[in-house]
Amino acid sequence: MHAVIIGAGITGALAAHELLLRGVEVTILEARSKGSGSSSRSAACIRQQWSTPATVRAMRYAMRSYDRFLEEFGCSADVIEPVVHNGYLFLHKDGAAWAAARERVAMQQAHGLSDVEALEPGALAERFPRVDASILQGATFCPSDGFLRPDVVYMEGFRRVAELGGTLLQNWRVMSGLHDAAGRLTAVVSDDGREAAGDVFINATNAWAPRLSQRLGGVELPIAPLKRYLYFVHRAGVEASEMVDWPMTITPSRAYCRPENPDQLLAGWAHATDPKPEFDWSDQDLIEPPFFHKTGLDNFGFQLWMELAEAMPAIGEFGGIEATTAGFYAVTPDHNPILGFDPKQPALLHAAGFSGHGAMLGPFTAKAIAAMAIAERTLESVVVEDEEIDVRAMLVGREFGHAEGMVI
């Protein structure tokens, strides 16, 4: 079998690695350079706290996989760990939301996440004195959650892919497909006329996935490219040695922050926006004036900073926002990914629509996609480390019934 993976981000790197380990010939095609899409513009957080049981279990595997990444990918001694375990702290102000959070903790524990816990205000104030627990009903905390170093994952990932015999072709933009007499996809064609033949074609382009599916004869994917912004807030009044240990903290309004380095917090906040299905590559880095941190005191970044300061007053004394970055989330109606073979095009296998969670889910996605590629069909469950995980909530063509409730 020859698998052609389109998209050289984290998903593409890890899927290629998994397929190569199973004896599959692999070619990866990338329109620009490896990691130059969503993977390099991600908040890169990783957590196991979810409201969908399958995602809890999938993420437990993904976390274990990242913890042994350096060994499994044969990294040299100077490569840093790709995951930092600062923990994830969800704050709750509303009584009903807090009740639901406690129920989720019980579900997460039942699905193997043993270190997650619900903290009442007193325990919260003792454990996390920088949080104003007096305005909260409580919080949930999982110390094994944290954040990723995405450049380590895709750079070391593709290094190992090359060692295993995989081929990465950069500056190779897929524009169309070739089909046999039965209409089955047999090759993809670049914008300059090059062809790449294969037996299965894996759509790992995330925000670009709907247009790629259309070009290759697949279904219309329910994925909306939504612009998201990240801000870097300069530390002040807090020792660097303390701040680097802060957990990823999510306020009741879903504003969030985590340490990026000893002197900066990385912060973000989802907002209502219209999809941009025809966005251009350069649009990823375009910062519109209302979202630029130097556009007066009513810009989105300043509002975010003040929102974080309400829950964590020390942040209000920080030195200010130093930079703004942007990128696109590939959002589905229920915020769960789209995995599986295309209903119209049996040679096209989708792995996209991660709604901002593609980096963290990468190791599990790789297992699921490799299993389906080898089986040559969409699977309703995937076995990882002797654990069978039901993936029906993630499959292409599903009904969008249960929406993931813990989205930021």
Q: What is the pLDDT of residues 190-202, one digit of tens each?
A: 999 999 999 999 9
DSSP lists the bridge partners of residue 73 as none
Q: Please state, rounded to an integer, the average pLDDT across all residues of the chain.
A: 97
pLDDT at position 405, please?
84
Percent of the chain with pLDDT over 70: 100
Cα angle 332, 335, 340; round to 5:
65
Alpha-carbon separation of residue 188 from 7, 155, 264 (angstroms): 13, 25, 43
pTM: predicted TM-score of the whole model, two decimal places:
0.97
- Hey, which bits of 235-289 come out as E strands? 248-250, 256-261, 264-268
pLDDT (mean) for 351-371: 97
* pLDDT tens for each residue of 237-288: 999 999 999 999 999 999 999 999 999 999 999 988 999 999 999 999 999 9
pLDDT at position 408, please?
85
Domains, the chain, ordered by start: 2-77+149-222+333-394 (3.50.50.60), 85-145+224-331 (3.30.9.10)
Whether 148 has a pLDDT exceeding 90, the answer reads yes
Which amino acid is residue 163, in one-letter code? E
Residue 97 CA neighbour count, 13 Å, CB half: 16
Whether 51 has a pLDDT exceeding 90, the answer reads yes
